[in-house]
């Protein structure tokens, strides 16, 4: 019922949120896609940020693309890239004790009796399972949030910032710029990490493989992509009572061989978590249809 309702609203409604035109206008206008995304946002009761980035054309479409949103666990994708790039870290032994194991740390809990994991294992499970303890161990080894933010700047991201560790970074307080990004910045960063020369070809392949292996976002953006489109993603969920956020960064390839990153952030929707997931899936469905019709 919720999905049908969202679809009907999306086709009928055109809101007033800021949209970015494609860098190279496709054959089909972005107006219908903009109306669909406006409608999904209105039906969700929250604020929806979205950016589509193409390997060939750069930024193709954005809705609230320059507005700040809490990152939640989406930062772990770039943290894994930093780990892969930093010499020697993947082979290092990262020790931890019971006090380091956070409430959501499935892999760390498996390793509790052993009391350590390698840097590569930490990066792998920070992405695929979103393990919070693994992420904190990597942050500690790599110099903390400040060093991570400096690495982002060096990678060309002038917007994204990490200020705290897990779980404090998930607060999502109104107007707080800490631990935030924008849809446009995140989509471009991920595209550059996967398709640029910042990482070696081997490390790009490892990172992409982890995103494909991830199963936490099957009901979000990947749930709206057509069968046969190879996809991976990194989710993020955070915020306290009354200020939840549901995020997803999907990377996908069409049957024609075109590569895209779709970054989506849904802040403070009024429905259930399942309904929030459905909004993100419907957004991906609308974007995929636009890609197919436009030849973008």
Q: Is 136 helix (H, G, I), strand (E, B) or coil?
A: helix
CA atoms of 99 and 37, how far apart (whole Å): 43
Give, in degrees to the nearest 5, the angle at Cα 159 between 261 and 77: 45
- Given 20, 54, 73, 130, which residue is catalytic? 73
Q: What is the token pair recorded at 273?
A: 């978590």
Task: Tell me which residue has tokens 């609230």.
Answer: 64
CA atoms of 22 and 30, how far apart (whole Å): 8
C-beta of residue 135 within 8 angstroms of C-beta of residue 166: yes
C-beta of residue 95 within 8 angstroms of C-beta of residue 116: yes
Q: Is 238 helix (H, G, I), strand (E, B) or coil?
A: strand
Closest CA to 290 of 58, 54, 2, 27: 27
Rounded to 5 degrees, what are φ and ψ at 181? -150, -175
Rounded to 5 degrees, what are φ and ψ at 52? -110, 125
73 carries an active-site annotation: yes
Give the DSSP H/E element, type plus range, for residue 167: none
C-beta of residue 184 within 8 angstroms of C-beta of residue 246: no
By annotation, the residues acting in catalysis are 73
């Amino acid at each position: 019922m919720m999905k049908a309702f969202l679809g009907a609203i999306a086709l009928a409604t055109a809101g007033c949120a800021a949209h970015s035109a494609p860098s190279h206008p496709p054959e089909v206008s972005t107006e219908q896609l903009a109306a669909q995304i406006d409608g999904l946002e209105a039906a969700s009761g929250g604020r929806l940020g979205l950016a589509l980035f193409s390997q060939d054309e750069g930024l193709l479409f954005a809705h609230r693309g320059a507005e700040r949103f809490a990152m939640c666990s989406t930062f772990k994708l770039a943290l894994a890239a930093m780990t892969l790039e930093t010499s020697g870290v993947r082979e290092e032994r990262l020790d931890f004790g019971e006090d380091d194991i956070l409430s959501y740390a499935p892999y760390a809990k498996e390793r509790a009796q052993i009391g350590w994991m390698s840097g590569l294992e930490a990066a792998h499970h920070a992405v695929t399972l979103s393990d919070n303890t693994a992420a904190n161990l990597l942050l500690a080894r790599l110099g903390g949030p400040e060093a991570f933010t400096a690495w982002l700047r060096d990678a060309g991201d002038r917007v994204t910032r990490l200020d705290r560790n897990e779980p404090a970074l998930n607060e999502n307080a109104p107007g707080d710029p800490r631990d935030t990004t924008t849809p446009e910045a995140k989509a471009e960063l991920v595209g550059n990490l996967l398709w640029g020369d910042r990482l070696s070809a081997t490390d790009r392949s490892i990172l992409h493989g982890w995103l494909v292996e991830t199963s936490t976002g099957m009901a979000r953006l990947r749930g709206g992509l057509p069968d046969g489109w190879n996809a991976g993603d990194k989710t993020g969920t955070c915020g306290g009572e009354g200020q939840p956020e549901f995020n997803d960064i999907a990377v996908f390839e069409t049957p024609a061989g075109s590569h895209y990153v779709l970054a989506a952030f849904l802040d403070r929707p009024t429905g259930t978590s399942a309904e929030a997931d459905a909004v993100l899936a419907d957004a991906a469905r609308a974007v995929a249809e636009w890609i197919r019709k436009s030849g973008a």
